Amino acid sequence: MAPNSPLQRTRPLPVSKQGSPIATVPPRRSECGRATEAEDEESGMKIERDSLRPFDFEGLEIRDYTAGAEVSSSVAEITVPAGARHRRAWSKRSDKYYYMLEGSLSFTVGVKTLDLTVGDCCIVRQGSRFSYGNPTSEPARVLLVHTPRFDLSEEVFEDEPG
């Protein structure tokens, strides 16, 4: 291994009097905050799309993948029907990441208009006013991540539902 290799150990493993490495029990969380192997076994989860019951939010169909989970970010899939829109709003709490899965949407963030198609991502920073709509004749689907996780009481809506 090269002397400056990132894989090189900076501290030697503890050894017994006979010179063999001593197994140690790692802390629940490592010094850098990464999960231990035992914790990884407990915290991995699969959420199947078909197991989620979509709900209506002002004409948008939402599947909330993280409802009720104690996680740092929330993830939802939103289906935006043709002609539908999300009214002007902003978050006191979260940054929002919208990743286009299907179709296209037109976002207004501040004074900018951003047209998104499949594979595009729009980032709306906490405190930024935004709205979006589907100007096409086909439904659009977008994956939304809130960081920190979504809290409706921290969302501010500025105009009436349309």
Give the pLDDT confidence of 105-151 residue by residue, as tens digits: 999 999 999 999 999 999 999 999 999 999 999 999 999 999 999 99
Q: At a CB cut-off of 8 Å and minimum separation 6, what does 1 contact?
A: 7, 8
> For all residues of the chain together, what is the average pLDDT?
83
| Stated pTM of the model | 0.74
pLDDT tens per residue across span 147-159: 999 999 999 999 7
Model confidence at 33, pLDDT cuts 50, 70, 90, reads low
The sign of the CA dihedral 161, 129, 96, 32 is negative
Higher pLDDT, 34 or 19: 34
Beta bridge partners of 75: 145
pLDDT of residue 62 exceeding 90: yes
CA distance 83 to 64: 22
Check residue 75 and give its pLDDT.
Answer: 98
pLDDT of residue 104 exceeding 80: yes
Instruction: Tell me which of 68-72, 94-98, 100-104 is least confident.
Output: 68-72
Domain chopping of the chain, boundaries: 51-151
Which CATH superfamily, name and number, covers 51-151? Jelly Rolls (2.60.120.10)
